[in-house]
Structure 1
Amino acid sequence: MKGKEWYQADDVAEEYDDKRFSEGGAFIDRREKEAVLSALGPVEGERILEVACGTGRFTVMMAQQGADIIGLDISPAMLSQGRQKAKEVGVDDHVEFMRGDAARLPFPDDHFDAVFAMRFFHLADRPVTFLRELRRVSKGEVFFDTFNLGSTRVIYNWLLPMGSRLYSRRDVESLLADSELELRSESHDFILPYGLYRQLPREVARPLRRLDTGLGKSTVGDRLASVSYWHTTK
């Protein structure tokens, strides 16, 4: 996986949420959580797996919605942040955080009602292998996102410390076909780059987000969007 050593560093885990999802980054956090809940909710009583759960942003959210969820990640430092977060909001009895490899998930076939992975496939060096594993352990639903070729992310992609794989629509369609998954629904967002939001105070980022949302609803919105959310099923 790209940037594996960087991702597992203690200091990266400790600063991860603050650097990316505070101030203007809160609009990114909100939209990503809406995308997950819109696709997979309601989740009360559902058994769910999050692959590459990081600091547990989505894992904890799903537990708060009543899911019994496992968050799997390769980074002990990230998992530690997730456990602390779950304990602070009182859902640690609904969450289990595990260290593991997304290419060899330690679960039997059809074990979960749904499986999802956010902010993962841009780092995946073997995306088909990973997606097949997500499909294998899910009874039906698989949800994931991609960063898109031809979007504003191309402008600064080379600056990122861990690199980033960008996908065309044809790439995603090929990935789904090779993984034997059917596309159930899709949505696309963020014409303006993530990096811009993270550098701005919330009140400055707010009108930009309104502008971005408006552009996204135009005829070129889907084509220029930097992020796509894919809701698939077996």
Structure 2
Amino acid sequence: MISVFGNRKVSGSLWSKKRKVLHHYNRLAGIYDSLYGEEQKSKIESILKLLNFGCKDMVLDAGCGTGLLIEYIAVRVNHLVGVDLAGESLKIAIERSRRLGVKRKVSLLRADVDHLPFRDTVFDKIFALTLLQNVPEPCETLREMLRVTKSNSQVAVTGLKKHFTEENFSRLIRRIGREYVFAETEEPHDIIAVVKADKVKNKYRQKEGIER
């Protein structure tokens, strides 16, 4: 596991929120899969029905946790990169990649999803599952994901219904693309969407200060 943190400063109040989430998931790491594994797998399976993978795809799992996504797509893509702040969760993800024999196709980094240690326009697909309700500024998190994704790539995003209505969740994800679909699922707790990233329109909107 590699720890990577950017040089950008994080305010004390924002870091306080991040630290609470970090401690929560570090404490849960050993039992997370038994508590939430089936629920998370249901989300992944719903999303995969909406995505097509290529053998050259670079995929980012933002807030990867214990690495449940690894067993679904690591063998289908060129490389899967998982990023999370919770070191204890990442240890389980590393062991999962070893157990599945895909360690060479998976990189796992301890890093902040709001300050991703990647150059612009790297990834063909991004997953952000059970993430947005855990970050202090979801708009900034999505903007950072848009930075590292390729234009017209697909971004899979979920949000807890107790934190987001479908209306405000739609408004939020439109910040990275106007084209999106909601996944058909029996999952009762989450809104699940796949967004087509539009870097050109969003670059214009950010430059002009337009919020829609």
- Counterpart in the other structure of 1:83: 94
Which stretches in structure 1 are left out of the alignment for 5+ residues?
A: 150-165, 192-224
- Counterpart in the other structure of 1:126: 137
Map 1:213-232 → 2, pairs under 5 A: 225-232=188-195
In 2, Cα distance between the equivalents of 1:5 and 1:96?
23
Given candidates 136, 147, 154, the residue that maps to 2:160 is: 147
Conserved? CA contact 2:61–2:127, under 8 Å: yes
Map 1:155-194 → 2, pairs under 5 A: 166-177=163-174, 179-190=175-186
Instruction: Report how far residue 43 of structure 1 moved.
Output: 4.0
SS in 1 for 2:115: coil
In 2, Cα distance between the equivalents of 1:112 and 1:64?
17
* CA RMSD after TM alignment: 1.9
In 1, Cα distance between the equivalents of 2:68 and 2:57?
18
Q: How many residues align?
A: 177
Superposed CA offset, 1:158-185 (max 9, x none): xxxxxxxx101221232134x2422321
In 2, Cα distance between the equivalents of 1:144 and 1:96?
21
Instruction: Report how far residue 188 of structure 1 moved.
Output: 4.8
In 2, Cα distance between the equivalents of 1:131 and 1:48?
16
Alignment CA distance shift 1:78-1:48 (3 Å):
same
Runs of 4+ in 1 over 4 A off after TM superposition: none
SS in 2 for 1:61: helix
Alignment CA distance shift 1:143-1:186 (3 Å):
same
Paired amino acid for 2:154: E
Q: Percent identity?
A: 22
Conserved? CA contact 1:51–1:72, under 8 Å: yes
Alignment CA distance shift 1:42-1:134 (3 Å):
same
Structure number, greater radius of gyration? 1
In 1, Cα distance between the equivalents of 2:185 and 2:46?
10
In 2, Cα distance between the equivalents of 1:188 and 1:44?
26
TM-score (norm 2): 0.76
SS in 2 for 1:57: coil
The answer as to 2:134 corresponding to 1:97 is no
- Counterpart in the other structure of 2:209: none
In 1, Cα distance between the equivalents of 2:160 and 2:56?
31
In 2, Cα distance between the equivalents of 1:45 and 1:100?
24
Conserved? CA contact 1:135–1:181, under 8 Å: no
- Counterpart in the other structure of 1:203: none
Paired amino acid for 1:75: A
Conserved? CA contact 2:159–2:191, under 8 Å: yes
Which stretches in structure 2 are left out of the alignment for 5+ residues?
A: 1-17, 199-212
Conserved? CA contact 1:51–1:115, under 8 Å: yes
SS in 2 for 1:13: helix
Superposed CA offset, 1:143-162 (max 9, x none): 1111114xxxxxxxxxxxxx
Alignment CA distance shift 1:13-1:43 (3 Å):
farther
- Counterpart in the other structure of 2:29: 13
TM-score (norm 1): 0.69
- Counterpart in the other structure of 2:201: none
In 2, Cα distance between the equivalents of 1:107 and 1:146?
24
Paired amino acid for 1:181: G
In 2, Cα distance between the equivalents of 1:117 and 1:145?
7
In 2, Cα distance between the equivalents of 1:56 and 1:169?
27
Instruction: Report how far residue 67 of structure 1 moved.
Output: 4.0
Conserved? CA contact 1:186–1:231, under 8 Å: yes
Instruction: Report how far residue 115 of structure 1 moved.
Output: 1.1
